Chain A
Amino acid sequence: MAILKPILYILVYPGLIFLMVYSTFCEWFDRKLYARMQNRIGPLHTGRSGILQPVADIIKLFAKEDIVPEKADKHMFSALPVFALAIICTTALYLPLWHYSEAPSFISFPGDLIVVAYLLTLPTLIYFLAGWHSNNYFSAIGGVRVLTMLFGYEIPLLLALLSPAVLADSWRILEIARFFQDKPLLMLVNLIGFFIAVIALQAKLERVPFDIPHAETEIVGGQLTEYSGKKLAFFRLLGDIEMVVGAGLIAAVFMGGFPGGLLPGLAWFILKTLFIIFLLAAMRAATSRIRIDQMINFSWRWLAPLAVLQLFIVIIIKGMVS
């Protein structure tokens, strides 16, 4: 039985199966919201209100011809999508969902916030490598843009995640969540940090206004130009799961996590992640894509100083509270 629980945890909930199902639902939710904000209807035909459309898209991609360009690095080109998906599914395990032990375990331990932040950076690196090894001009430009953007948003995101950790006096996501569950009012202290984290997450997910690496009117598919079929489906899934994990991390760190055991925890998880996805969709609908230089300027002129300011506020508040 002791071994069964981790297996269940990895495979079913909140591991692979749950992630696949929930991430496709989130993609549908995002697409539908985005469509409604643009005065469109959005997916409609597959399943009830088009709820199965993301699944259908992925099945379609899996059925397509799988092309590896002649000039590309064949091993890297094929291995990268699998690696990326594996890494992001691993990251999902660190979200304090249902099974989290009081004592440190491989899933929850002091310092897992840093591990999650680190693991969330890896898909970006994989995007860059995918672009580079495609051996295509557009992919290479896209790949370089991915890395350039990483330097823009990663520091503000880390600083933003730091402030609740400082306030809760812990690097463990579970403990940060529990701290805010006990003192919900203190969540308001981190409001600036929350918005910085949401903006940085938008940049990490490469969505408008930060879809610079795969801006289709400029560089076609960006780093994924050469990808097709199964491999592209992997990257699609990666994007969806990254959205869920990113939203889940922000919900756990800034919004008090998912208390109350299995079912209430699941309900909180869905509610909070959908709220963050709503913010992401609204941002996507209200803005236009910016240039890479504008993005870096914006991150260092606004996001990073604001994140530092947030840290100062947290330190002052902490001095007042304790």
Chain B
Amino acid sequence: MEFKVSLGPQHPALHEAVSLRMTLEGEIIRDADLKLGYSHRGIEKLAEERTFTQNIYLTERICGICSHSHTTCFVQGVEQLMELIPARRGLYIRTLIAELERVHSHLLWLGVAGQEAGFESFFMYTWRDREVVMDILDWITGNRVHYAMNTFGGVRRDIDELQKKKILDSLDLLTKRTEYYLKIGANEPTFVGRLAGVGKLSREDAIALCAVGPTLRASGVPMDVRKDDPYAVYNEIPFEVCTADSCDVLGRAVVRVKELIQSYKMIEFLLKNLPDGPFKVKAPRKVKPNEVYSRYEAPRGENVHYIKSNGSDKPERLKVRAPTLANYTATIKMLKNGFIADIPLIFAAIDPCICCAERLVQLDNPRSGESKVLSFSQLRTMANDHYKKVNLLKKEAVWPF
């Protein structure tokens, strides 16, 4: 007997508004669908009305977890448009913040995985240790979430010797803890039982469905922008691309823990080899007309910004493709034929950041080719009309059992 259940838009497992529509047969999911569009912030449109410098701080607010990823992606693209070579020390510090951000994001994800699997102790422990890296970020940038470190031509703040020492000291603790989590994650039978074999995504499917980040790497595809198309100073740092062959949620967890350990090594390398010199160079205000496609390996996967300039101090167009969007199709594939109990784990395993990926799309009419512009009040009328059509009370709805 099949019946349909909708998880979300409000649901304890989902931290943001998205609706997962499931066709269930007992405890088994036969069909799954995602309904998006519950939140939209209009950042891309807003970016067209701000100057490039203002846009750094706007792109930072696309995401609360990978805030540095979005600014770096944007700043790199604009620097390319400006034909500006950033200061080397600045690039090192930029990379350092990027890796610290990866550490805090992966630790956060580990906790979320624990919580979704009902392993609250794991959640509490990882989030406690996440505070260490949050404190480091606070100490060197002044902020815990939106670091505001990037600027065109380098970074906004320097790192002194005392800060270096403090970060290196904290790294020892973090490394020890992470190895402990790897041990727990691989040995605690109830936890492994929940993660292993759940949300299978074969290598072929992962490539065909354009998965990115740890989701892709857990299916055995060693694809990482840091290695394939190095930006900042990644071509100078020694590191490995972490993969797993199990193609399941356990693999995704293992990839993230391994990446944590790689990140600690990278942070140590960056701090020990920090070059002397200025940490930023002066950047021009206006940008020549051109376009650029900027790639960045965010903690969640490949982040892409497309920037088009028109000769003024404002971008003509900014298009952001957050990693979550690339993973949605793979998620549907993973959910099918799983258990209800696995829905939160599979969905959380892509580390979804729903607000970053939500866009409002108005397609041009493909036949006549005519396009139209919608104003805010028109959008509001459309939404109200939609809800008038939907009978919210559904008194005539039949109980399916």
Interfacial residues, chain A to chain B (CB-CB below 8 A): 37-40, 71, 135, 137-138, 140-141, 208-209, 211-212, 215-220, 285-294
A-B contact pairs, 17 of them (CB 8 A): A38-B125, A71-B399, A140-B401, A141-B340, A212-B341, A217-B13, A217-B116, A218-B343, A285-B120, A286-B188, A288-B118, A288-B190, A289-B117, A289-B190, A290-B193, A291-B341, A292-B339
Query: In the complex, A98→B195 CA distance in Å?
Result: 48
Contact with A along B1-38 (1 / 0, CB 8 A): 00101000001110000000000000100000000000
> Would you call B121 and A286 a contact (CB within 8 A)?
yes
Residues of chain A within 8 A (CB-CB) of B193 are 290-291, 294
Residues of chain B within 8 A (CB-CB) of A292 are 27, 339, 341
A215 and chain B: residue at smallest CB distance: B118
Q: Summarize B's interface: helix, strand, loop or mixed.
A: helix
Residues of chain A within 8 A (CB-CB) of B340 are 141, 218-219
Residues of chain B within 8 A (CB-CB) of A141 are 5, 27, 340
A40 and chain B: residue at smallest CB distance: B124
Residues of chain B within 8 A (CB-CB) of A285 are 120-121
Query: In the complex, A99→B129 CA distance in Å?
Result: 52
Residues of chain B within 8 A (CB-CB) of A293 are 27, 339
Query: In the complex, A287→B124 CA distance in Å?
Result: 13
> Would you call B124 and A288 a contact (CB within 8 A)?
no
Does B53 lie at the interface of the complex (its beta carbon under 8 Å from any beta carbon of A)? no
Residues of chain A within 8 A (CB-CB) of B27 are 141, 292-293
Given A288-B191, A291-B194, does the pair A137, B3 have CB atoms closer than 8 Å?
yes
> Would you call B194 and A217 a contact (CB within 8 A)?
no
Q: Classify chain B's interface size.
A: 20 to 34
What's the nearest-Cβ distance from chain A to residue B118, in Å?
3
Contact check: which of A39, A209, A220, A291 meets B339 at CB < 8 Å?
A: A291
> Would you call B118 and A39 a contact (CB within 8 A)?
no
Query: In the complex, A232→B352 CA distance in Å?
Result: 33
Residues of chain B within 8 A (CB-CB) of A294 are 193
B113 and chain A: residue at smallest CB distance: A288
Query: In the complex, A97→B118 CA distance in Å?
Result: 36
Contact check: which of B12, B117, B188, B339 meets A216 at CB < 8 Å?
A: B12
Q: Which 7 A-B pairs have the closest CB atoms?
A: A289-B118, A288-B119, A217-B13, A38-B124, A217-B344, A288-B191, A287-B190
A287 and chain B: residue at smallest CB distance: B190
B6 and chain A: residue at smallest CB distance: A137
B12 and chain A: residue at smallest CB distance: A216
Contact check: which of A37, A140, A288 meets B117 at CB < 8 Å?
A: A288
Query: In the complex, A140→B5 CA distance in Å?
Result: 11
> Would you call B125 and A39 a contact (CB within 8 A)?
yes
> Would you call B122 and A288 a contact (CB within 8 A)?
yes
> Would you call A38 and B121 a contact (CB within 8 A)?
yes
